């Protein structure tokens, strides 16, 4: 059976069988992980995939499972022990400024810069939760890219904001079209394939001096301010991709 939308899925949940297909997103709530795990165990095919739905929107999950594509020494911090380990590692590596990314905070609202990890720890020591969040060394001078990816269509634009290291377009930033080279296209394709995304909004950090490419974040949906494609056309391409996946 084919189920469109979460309400359609839940109405028939007790009767789900191996081979059934679900097109839609499981809402972000306390039961999301359990539902996606159960669907996978039952053999229900999800579009977008269960893995993509788990990774999309969670910066910490991405750091854990896609960390090899990110800036070196990027790591998920789940608690005090992880933070202390990172403190030792960063100090030995001579890392100065660091950035923390609060999980499930978007548009740069959870992004913070610290002069040192010691400073960050001194503040966080008074917070009983201490996580989860993403930790990585601060890197300046890089090109910040947003890539709209839904093969065979893709495009990229550069985001700039000299008054804000977060590069927010919504807070006075500007954008310009960026032509991806072969290495960058290949990089995006490999990340998308490993993450199980049928389409993606990919944020990249490009160091043109050293020809380095790093993943910053990936999501199933996101802003397109600065893109050439419009929302209506993008949604049409997504519907075409869904039909293609169903037919295959």
CA–CA distances in Å: residue 157 to residues 145, 180, 190, 228: 6, 9, 20, 9
**Closest of 33, 29, 3, 30 to residue 15, by C-alpha:** 3
0.85 cut: is pTM over it?
A: yes
Clarify whether residues 40 and 20 are in a common domain.
yes
Give the end of a domain, one of 137, 153, 183.
137
Question: Which string of b and e fits 185-214 if b means at least 16 CB within 10 Å?
Answer: eebbeebbeebebbbbbbbbbbeeeeeebb
Model pLDDT, residue 28: 87
What does the pLDDT look like over 45-79, one tens digit per residue?
Answer: 999 999 999 999 899 999 999 999 999 999 999 98
Clarify whether residues 147 and 235 are in a common domain.
yes
Range of the domain at 103: 72-137
Dihedral pair phi/psi, residue 212, rounded to 5° = -100, 145
What does the pLDDT look like over 96-144, one tens digit per residue?
Answer: 999 999 988 776 678 899 999 999 888 887 776 567 999 999 998 899 9
Model pLDDT, residue 171: 62
Residues 2, 246: contact at Cβ < 8 Å? yes
Query: In the numeric block, which tokens belong to residue 112?
Result: 């913070």
CATH, residue 79: 3.30.1490
Residues 106, 168: contact at Cβ < 8 Å? no
Longest dimension (CA), the chain: 57
Average pLDDT score over residue span 203-226: 92
């Amino acid at each position: 059976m084919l189920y469109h939308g979460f309400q359609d899925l839940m109405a028939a949940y007790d009767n789900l069988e191996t081979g059934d297909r679900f097109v839609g997103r499981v809402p972000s709530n306390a039961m999301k992980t359990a539902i996606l795990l159960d669907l996978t165990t039952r053999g229900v095919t999800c579009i977008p995939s269960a893995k993509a739905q788990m990774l999309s929107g969670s910066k910490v999950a991405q750091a854990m499972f896609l960390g090899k594509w990110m800036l070196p020494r990027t790591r998920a911090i789940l608690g005090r022990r992880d933070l202390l380990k990172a403190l030792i590692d960063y100090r030995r590596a001579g890392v100065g400024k660091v950035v923390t990314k609060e999980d499930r905070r978007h548009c740069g609202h959870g992004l913070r810069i610290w002069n040192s990890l010691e400073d960050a720890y001194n503040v966080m020591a008074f917070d009983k939760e201490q996580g989860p969040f993403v930790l990585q060394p601060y890197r300046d001078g890089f090109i910040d890219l947003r890539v709209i990816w839904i093969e065979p269509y893709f495009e990229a634009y550069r985001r700039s904001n000299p008054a804000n290291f977060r590069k927010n377009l919504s807070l006075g930033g500007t954008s310009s079209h960026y032509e991806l080279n072969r290495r960058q296209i290949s990089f995006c394709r490999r990340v998308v394939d490993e993450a199980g995304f049928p389409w993606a909004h990919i944020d990249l950090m490009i160091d043109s001096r050293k020809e380095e490419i790093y993943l910053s974040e990936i999501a199933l949906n996101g802003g397109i301010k600065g893109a050439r494609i419009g929302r209506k056309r993008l949604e049409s391409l997504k519907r075409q991709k869904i039909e293609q996946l169903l037919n295959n």
